[in-house]
Amino acid sequence: MNVFDYLLAGKPDDAPALLTLKRQHSYGEVRTNAAAVASFLLNRGASKGQRAILIADSGLFWVAAYLGIMRAGLVCVPLPPRLATAELDYIAGLTDPAFVFAEARYASALPDKLSTLPLICEDAYPALPNAVSLAELAQSAEQFEHFPETGDDDLAALMFTSGSTGRPRGVMVSHKNIIANTNSIIDYLELTRDDRIMAVLPFHYCFGASLLHTHLRVGASVVIDSRFMYPERVLQRMQDTACTGFAGVPSHFQILLRKSNLANMSFPHLRYVQQAGGQLAAAFITELRQAVPHTRVFVMYGQTEATARLSYLPPEFLDTKLSSVGMGIPGVKLSVLDETGNFILPGQTGEIVAEGDNVTLGYWDDPQETAHHFRDGKLYTGDLATVDEDGFIFIVDRAKDFLKCGGKRVSCRHLENILLEHASLLEVAVVGIPDEVLGEAAVAYVVSRDPKAEPSSEQLTTFCKERMPLPVVPKRFVVLTSLPKNSSGKVLKSLLKEAPVPVEG
C-alpha cells in the first residue's frame, strides 16, 4: 500500500488534521493538496523512483508535498531549512533530484544544482520563472485517476542522518517500513481519533515524521508549533488546544522542567508524553513524572535506520526499570549480542541488533556502510547496552561515544547523567581530549539553569569526586549559554570536539 492511501483513506473530509498557528486544515484539504502535487508531478513526466527534495517548515505545504511525492511513486528527500550550502550541494549531487519543493523564503538560497529544476512553492514566487505554487496546483483540473502501484520495498523517502565520516547519509525508507513502524507505535500508545499531539519536532526528522504518520493514520490531529524557544507559549497552546500528547527529545524536557512553569500548570487532557532521540537522565524523568502526575510517560529508543522506533518502556515499569529503554515494540525483535554474535548475559555489554519490517533498506549509494550496519535482514545499531534478568535493555552509550581514561573505557553518557543530578545544571555534554597521563581526559560543557547562579569549576569537581572514580572526573568544565544543536534539538558533539578548550574553565 502507498503511504498516502494508508494515512488518508477513509478519513472524514471535515475532520481536523493539522492545526498551525495561522489556521486549521482538514483531512479533505490535506488530501486535495497532496493529490494535486501527485498529479502535477505525473503531468510533468515524473518517473517512479525519481527523487524530489523538500525544504520547508512543518505545515500544510510540507505534508501535501511529502504525501503527494509518495503518491506519485517518487522518493521524498526532506531536508532541514537553512541547511548549509555545502551539505545541500552534496545531497543534491548524491540524490540527483528531478523536482524541488521549497517554501519561498528558502527558495532564494537554493544552490545552482537545484535552482534550475522545476520548483514548487507554497505561494507564488515570481522571482523564479520555473516556480509554481501549491495553490495553483490545487486549482488545476488536471487530476490523475490512476497512480503508480507501490510495492513493499519501493522507496518512500530518503531520511538524511549524520554519518561516521562527517558526511550525511541517506537512509532508504520504504513504504512497508513506514506502515510497519506506524502500526507498532499506534499499538503501544493506544492512539485513537480523539488524540491531539503537540508537535514541536520538525517533520523532516524521523521522530517528527512518526508523529505525523501515527496521528494521521488514526484520524487524530497534529498541533504544529515551532516556537519552543518560548516554552511558555507552547505550554499555553497545549492547554488552549486540549492536547492529549506531547513528544520531545531530551533537550525539550530539560528546558520544560528547569526553564518553564510546567510543574505549576494543569493539563487535564494530557494523556501521554513521548521521549526519544537520546537518553533523558533519570533525574529528569523523575521530575517529569512529578510535574505531570496524571500523564503516562513513555521512554522510547529508536534510530533513523529503523524508520523511527525500536523499543519502549511501559510507564508502569518506570519505578522498577528507571533508565531502561524497555524491550522491542510490537513487531520488532531486539537482541543484545557480543562480538561473536552470542546473546550477552546480565551485567555484560553488547551491541543492540534489531529485526523487523521497520528496518530500512540501507544507505543510499553507500554499499560499504550498508554492508556494515545491515546484515542478513538485521540492523546493527552501534549502540552498546546491557540487559537485566528480566530482559529489559539499558543503553550504555554509542560505540563511538566512549572515552579511554587511564586504560579504562567510560561512557560519556554515564558521566553526563551523574552531572545532571546537580540541580543547578540544565544541560551537559562530555567529550574527550588528549591527555599525557590518562591518554584521554573528559571535558564537560555545561549550561546552567540560572546564568546568575552558575556553579564554579571547583564546586562541580567536588560534586563529581563524590560520585565517580578520580580518573574520569572531568579535567575541565566549560560553561556555555547553550549547547550546539541541530534542528531536531539533538546536541552536536562534533562541534564541541572541534572547539578549542580553554586552559582554565
Query: Strand, helix or coil at 223?
Result: strand
Phi/psi of residue 362, nearest 5 degrees? 120, -160
HSE of 155 in the Cβ direction (CA atoms, 13 Å)?
21
Query: Rounded CA gap, 395 and 303, in Å?
Result: 13
Compute and round to an integer the Cα radius of gyration of the chain. 23
> Residue 505: its pLDDT value, please?
39
> Residue 143: its pLDDT value, please?
73
HSE of 162 in the Cβ direction (CA atoms, 13 Å)?
13
237: left (phi over 0), alpha (psi -120 to 50) or beta: alpha
Residues 191 and 210: beta-carbon distance below 8 Å:
no
> Residue 198: its pLDDT value, please?
98
> Residue 65: its pLDDT value, please?
98
Query: Rounded CA gap, 469 and 190, in Å?
Result: 44
Query: Based on the number of CB atoms within 10 Å of its own CB, is 356 exposed (0-12), middle (13-18) or buried (19 or more)?
Result: buried
Query: Rounded CA gap, 408 and 395, in Å?
Result: 18
Element (H, E) at 326: none
Residues 110 and 74: beta-carbon distance below 8 Å:
no
Give the count of beta carbons closer than 10 Å to the beta carbon of residue 254. 25
**Listed residue (198, 81, 194, 180) closest to 486, CA to CA:** 81
| Cα 499 → chain centroid | 25
Residues 36 and 68: beta-carbon distance below 8 Å:
yes
In this structure, what C-alpha cell is assigned to residue 42?
505525473
> Residue 376: its pLDDT value, please?
92
pLDDT tens, N- to C-terminus, the chain (505 residues): 899 999 999 999 999 999 999 999 999 999 999 999 999 999 999 999 999 999 999 999 999 999 999 999 999 999 999 888 888 999 999 999 999 999 988 988 888 889 889 999 998 766 677 789 998 888 876 677 778 899 989 999 999 987 655 688 999 999 999 999 999 999 999 999 999 999 999 999 999 999 999 999 999 999 999 999 899 999 999 999 999 999 999 889 999 998 899 999 999 999 999 999 888 889 899 999 999 999 999 999 999 999 999 999 999 999 999 999 999 999 999 999 999 999 999 989 999 999 999 999 999 999 999 999 999 999 999 999 999 999 999 998 776 777 877 666 788 888 998 999 998 999 999 998 887 777 788 999 999 988 888 899 999 999 999 988 888 899 999 999 999 888 778 888 888 887 766 554 3
In this structure, what C-alpha cell is assigned to residue 492?
552536536
In this structure, what C-alpha cell is assigned to residue 472?
574520569
Instruction: State how far the alpha carbon of 253 is from the alpha carbons of 17, 94, 207, 266, in Å.
Output: 26, 35, 15, 16
Enumerate domains of the chain plus CATH numbers.
27-150 (3.40.50.980), 175-398 (3.40.50.12780), 402-498 (3.30.300.30)
Query: Rounded CA gap, 59 and 225, in Å?
Result: 9
> Residue 504: its pLDDT value, please?
46
> Residue 175: its pLDDT value, please?
98
**Listed residue (235, 225, 289) closest to 262, CA to CA:** 235
> Residue 166: its pLDDT value, please?
63
Q: Where are the beta strands (DSSP E) in 6-141?
A: 16-19, 24-26, 51-55, 75-79, 99-102, 119-121, 131-133
Element (H, E) at 431: strand 425-435
Longest dimension (CA), the chain: 73
Residues 40 and 137: beta-carbon distance below 8 Å:
yes
Instruction: State how far the alpha carbon of 90 is from the alpha carbons of 83, 110, 162, in Å.
Output: 11, 13, 13
**Listed residue (254, 301, 260, 313) closest to 281, CA to CA:** 254
Query: Rounded CA gap, 181 and 332, in Å?
Result: 9
Query: Strand, helix or coil at 24?
Result: strand
Torsion of CA 103, 108, 109, 111, to 10 degrees: 100
> Residue 227: its pLDDT value, please?
93
**Listed residue (49, 17, 48) closest to 32, CA to CA:** 17
